[in-house]
Structure 1
Amino acid sequence: MVAALAWAWGPALLDWAWWSAVWRPDAEACQAVRGQGACWGVVAEKHRLILLGRYPQELAWRPVLATVLLLGAVAGALWPPAAAGGTSMGRRVGLAVCGLCGAVFLLHGWPGAQAWGLGVVETDRWGGLPLSLLLSAGALVAALPLGTAVAVGRREGGPVLRRVLAWGVELVRGLPLVAVLFTASFLFPLWWPGATAPDVLLRVWLAMTLFATAYLSETIRAGLQALEVGQQLAGASLGLPRRAIYRWILLPQALIRMVPALVNSAIGLFKDSALVTVVSLYELTGSLGLALQGDPVWRPFLLEGTLFITALYFAGCAGLSAAGRALEARWTLRRGR
């Protein structure tokens, strides 16, 4: 079926996307081939707004450097090391946290640092690819230890704690992410005492973290339940406390089993970051609409812009998948499985 469709539509699609396409930012040339060829000139014309949002143009080096820092931190945290000894999970998490903190500092700046080009830029000016990466990576890094704590609490806590955690997980999982984002953005300030609620970006990040925690906790709990009960009993027979049993015996083994599911959650969170545009945060999808809004010359070529950000999302998801497969293979090889 797929081969038949590719044979029937492939040549026409290739002609539209490549041979008859306009690659330069020439509006007249794009209008001339409209309906016959793609206009990739809209990407050349609007790429800064699409990728960086409303961030001040004269300070564009800051979100670019923040994006490089975020990508480097994610790659360093996920990609398996060449050395046989490997890299501890604590160092990987620490690297991701440092990358996130450095990116936030670059994007926000510091009061009185205008002379060095690091003056404060309010969060409502952030957007594009840096915002998508920051929200998804930040939520995942925060949700992973929280999800682990919830999963262990549901296994080892008392009856009341287990019931409360189970209700909390089911409540969050039973809501769509859009509803959680709306609650954090519009309802939470009504409940906040005083006149000023926390920044909307912080509230959205907390909402995404809470949402990811609920799903990751079930993934981690499933990985722990997949282990033989004798592993925990053996640790207890050696006199190890429960915390040490989980840290040194159960969680390292369960982590290998959870890598595909964790990568799947990371991919889903990266794509779900596009939903923050409904609360007026202009990540990639929102920045595209912002770039073409009120521009009658380039707005007819929304399809080409959408295909461009689709390619960016696909590249990010493919990179996460490749890193997850390599990491899983490396850890499996080290443990002789």
Structure 2
Amino acid sequence: MIHNRTVIEARPAPTHTIGPVAWLRANLFSGPINTILSLAAIYLLVSLLVPTIQWAFIDADWVGTSRDDCSREGACWVFINARIGQFIYGLYPRHEIWRVNVTFGLFAVLIAWLAIPRLPLKRWVAVATLVVFPFVAFALLYGGRFGLPVVETHRWGGLMLTLVLAVVGMVAALPIGTLLALGRRSKMPIVKSFSVIFIEFWRGVPLITVLFMASVMLPLFLPTGMNVDRLVRALIGITLFQSAYMAEVIRGGLQAIPRGQEEAAAALGMGYWKRMGLIVLPQALKMMIPGIVNTFISLFKDTTLVMIIGLFDLLGIVQAALSDSRWLGFSVEGYAFAALVFWIFCFSMSRYSQYLERKLHTGHKR
């Protein structure tokens, strides 16, 4: 008997099983129906994308200072260039814009420090971000200290105001929502009843109604001579409203943790707050990242509702610019710019949440 011991060299996989052609055959053209649907979808995309690209880029006007510089048939991005300062800073004094830039530059550095894995002193940076930075930001933006002139909040607007509303709402809603979620699961009747009533009340009222009540009705119940800033009222309303939704997201994560985790911690002699802070909540928060980020994205987009109380966020300042007689007829460019800015921030939050999910993966994902 003759045994062939010759080793056959490795050969590449057949071209029809790997590569772009194989992917197309497997996913888009795997059968007659899929082929027809894929061709129809491609035709629809081409029909929409080609004119859009032609209008937005090829035939667009980019440079100029007035509508007279928009002589082509495409988009007039001159409108955005002429109003970009107002879109970002609102009516903030131009000679004081450096204060806004310093504030958000400092905030970006702190967030980047917390987001980059290998940087040291993260605990102290987190404390500085949550405790020290809000006072520094208020002192810079509002003024009245360190020789800085006061800039009233009615002059705040544009992207700056959108970020203030969103960041304050997110930072404040998460701890309040956590306490409400724990209170709803509490065995103490008074705490549980208060948490349930609070959550169900704020979840049952539209945010636009909350803002309207905070702006119009709340001053009627205040003592004579007492006045609360309109922006502060909006921030309180947004925070309370968002806390109710955050509480339900966190409660869902807490219910996903097996009871044995808390019982084991209690058997080790841990008190309630230690069990929650060291055992239960860290596990639950990892599972709640998609829900929490989804709530944050919803909050970021809901900031546009402050227009009804006279605060001009990014969308509000764009709409105000469109009413200028010198720029009538460029609403598409204005709304496209606002949509792009909102998409960039929301998409960034979504991608970072996916990064956190991969980083904190502990075996829950199947």
Same-fold call, TM cutoff 0.5: yes
**Residues 336 and 170 (structure 1), Cα distance of their counterparts in 2 relative to 1, 3 Å cut:** closer
Q: What SS does the corresponding residue of 1:214 show, helix, strand or coil?
A: helix
* 1:124 matched to 2:158: no
Corresponding letter in the other structure for 1:231: Q
Aligned to 2:36: none
Q: Take 2:116 and 2:257, find their aligned partners in 1: how far apart are those partners? A: 24
Aligned to 1:215: 245
Corresponding letter in the other structure for 2:185: R
Aligned to 1:161: 191
Instruction: Point out where structure 1 has 5 or more consecutive residues left out of the alignment.
Output: none
Aligned to 1:304: 333
Deviation of the 1:297 alpha carbon: 2.0
Kindly tell me the number of residue pairs found equivalent between the two proteins.
Answer: 326
Q: Take 2:112 and 2:187, find their aligned partners in 1: how far apart are those partners? A: 35
Corresponding letter in the other structure for 1:6: L
1:101 to 128, 132, 135: 135
Q: What SS does the corresponding residue of 1:202 show, helix, strand or coil?
A: helix
Aligned to 1:29: 69
1:1-337 paired onto structure 2 within 5 Å: 2-25=41-64, 26-30=66-70, 32-33=71-72, 36-77=73-114, 79=115, 81-82=117-118, 87-88=122-123, 91-92=125-126, 94-111=128-145, 113=147, 118-293=148-323, 295-332=324-361
Corresponding letter in the other structure for 1:276: V
1:168-208 deviation per Cα after TM superposition (whole angstroms, max 9, x unaligned): 11110011110000111110000111222211111110101
Does the 8 Å CA contact 2:203/2:244 hold for their aligned counterparts? yes
TM-score, normalised with respect to structure 2: 0.83
Does the 8 Å CA contact 2:113/2:125 hold for their aligned counterparts? no
Does the 8 Å CA contact 2:157/2:312 hold for their aligned counterparts? yes
Q: Take 2:110 and 2:304, find their aligned partners in 1: how far apart are those partners? A: 21
Deviation of the 1:50 alpha carbon: 1.0
Q: Take 1:76 and 1:46, find their aligned partners in 2: how far apart are those partners? A: 32
Deviation of the 1:333 alpha carbon: 6.1
Corresponding letter in the other structure for 1:224: L
Q: Which moved more, 1:309-318 or 1:55-64?
A: 55-64
Q: Which moved more, 1:327-336 or 1:197-206?
A: 327-336
Does the 8 Å CA contact 2:139/2:145 hold for their aligned counterparts? no
Does the 8 Å CA contact 2:253/2:285 hold for their aligned counterparts? yes
Corresponding letter in the other structure for 1:325: Q
TM-score, normalised with respect to structure 1: 0.90
Does the 8 Å CA contact 1:80/1:330 hold for their aligned counterparts? no
Deviation of the 1:111 alpha carbon: 4.7
Deviation of the 1:27 alpha carbon: 1.6
Q: Which structure dedicates a bigger proportion of its chain to helix?
A: 1
Does the 8 Å CA contact 2:157/2:314 hold for their aligned counterparts? yes
Q: Which moved more, 1:101-110 or 1:119-128?
A: 101-110
Q: What SS does the corresponding residue of 2:205 show, helix, strand or coil?
A: coil
Does the 8 Å CA contact 1:143/1:213 hold for their aligned counterparts? yes
Deviation of the 1:221 alpha carbon: 0.7
1:249-307 deviation per Cα after TM superposition (whole angstroms, max 9, x unaligned): 000110100111111111111111111111111110111123343x2221321210111
Instruction: Point out where structure 2 has 5 or more consecutive residues left out of the alignment.
Output: 1-39
Does the 8 Å CA contact 2:306/2:312 hold for their aligned counterparts? yes
Q: What SS does the corresponding residue of 1:297 show, helix, strand or coil?
A: helix
Q: Identity, % of aligned pairs?
A: 36
Q: Take 1:320 and 1:138, find their aligned partners in 2: how far apart are those partners? A: 16
